[in-house]
């Protein structure tokens, strides 16, 4: 069993984020002391509240990732919860896919900027706000763990294969969403270089084509069959726990396949 002191997941109210909370609470391969579930409307997050009622490990914090002005307060709340051992694992999961069009003509500045704000800018700024706590975790854990590991300190950006520039080979859909995830992937590389100096691992993950609200309007077909949030998250946790020094700055799918940026 792998022990992770503290984990924080953004966008934890439903879908993949909620499933991360469930599995960090109950998966037999990993034990977390503190699970911080951040979501923009805790009062409406019924499934999350139910989980919290079942375990004192879960702390629910309010965070709309688009409200940058609240980040300092949010970081203070996180610091109070994690104490002097810091934040071990940050999962930047919150995301939107509001523009699934395949036509340049359909793009508006508002749509494009809105998707970039949530999917590209926010994960970097959330990481910036929590960097001191991640650094603290990396330092504290360095006594037990040398090198890079999600047990020591890590940032996982939930990206998408749609943001892989090398895999954009026709059938171009999802304008704005693709660009937002490509930008996130570049930030993964840049953060990995900068935070890597402090022993913090940074990776991008593609969760697969997952049956959630985000994909409810997209039809399955051919090779594109949806998987459950359970299988996606189970796979991602399994891959995360294996990451080490040699996997720095990577992009993985939920099966552990390496995706070319
Ligand atoms: P869902 O639409 O089911 O859930 C999205 C989550 O993000 C919700 O919890 C939502 O909160 C939260 N969120 C959205 N905007 C904000 C915001 N401004 N502040 C805080 N939270 C916010 O999507 P998924 O679970 O499917 O997606 C999770 C991540 O996985 C996303 O980053 C997505 O791009 C990525 N992904 C998903 C794939 C899939 O097949 N499903 C494939 C590839 C990548 P609220 O309930 O308040 O709206």
Can you tell me the distance from the alpha carbon of 254 to that of 57, in angstroms, rounded to the nearest whole number?
A: 25
Give the residues of the chain that fall short of pLDDT 70: 99-101, 169-172, 222-223
What's residue 217's pLDDT?
86
- Ligand 1 atom at minimum distance from 14 CA: 9
What's residue 100's pLDDT?
59
Q: How far is the CA of 183 from the centre of ligand 1 (A)?
A: 17
Q: pTM for the full model?
A: 0.97
Can you tell me the distance from the alpha carbon of 125 to that of 98, in angstroms, rounded to the nearest whole number?
A: 21
What's residue 144's pLDDT?
87
Q: What angle do CA 57, 25, 22 make, to 5 degrees?
A: 120
- Ligand 1 atom at minimum distance from 97 CA: 34
Ligand 1, atom 42: nearest CA belongs to which residue? 209
Q: Is the ipTM beyond the 0.90 threshold? A: yes
């Amino acid at each position: 069993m792998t022990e992770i002191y503290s984990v924080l997941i953004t966008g934890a109210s439903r879908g993949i984020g909620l499933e991360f909370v469930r599995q960090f609470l109950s998966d037999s391969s990993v034990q977390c002391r503190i699970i911080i579930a951040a979501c923009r409307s805790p009062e409406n997050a019924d499934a999350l509240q139910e989980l919290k009622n079942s375990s004192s490990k879960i702390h629910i914090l309010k965070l709309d990732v688009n409200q940058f002005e609240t980040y300092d307060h949010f970081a203070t709340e996180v610091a109070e919860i994690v104490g002097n051992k810091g934040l071990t694992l940050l999962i930047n999961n919150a995301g939107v896919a509001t523009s699934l069009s395949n036509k340049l003509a359909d793009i508006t500045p508002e749509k494009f900027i809105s998707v970039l704000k949530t999917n590209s800018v926010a994960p970097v700024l959330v990481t910036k706000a929590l960097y001191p706590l991640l650094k603290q975790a990396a330092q504290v854990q360095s006594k037990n763990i040398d090198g890079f590991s999600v047990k020591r300190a890590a940032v996982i950006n939930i990206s998408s294969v749609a943001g892989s520039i090398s895999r954009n080979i026709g059938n171009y859909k999802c304008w704005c969403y693709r660009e937002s995830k490509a930008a996130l992937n570049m930030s993964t590389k840049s953060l990995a270089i900068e935070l890597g100096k402090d022993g913090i691992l940074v990776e991008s993950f593609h969760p697969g084509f997952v049956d959630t609200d985000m994909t409810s309007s997209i039809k399955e077909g051919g090779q594109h069959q949806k998987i459950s949030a359970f299988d996606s998250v189970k796979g991602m946790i399994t891959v995360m726990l294996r990451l080490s020094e040699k996997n720095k700055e990577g992009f993985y799918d939920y099966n552990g396949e390496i995706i070319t940026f």
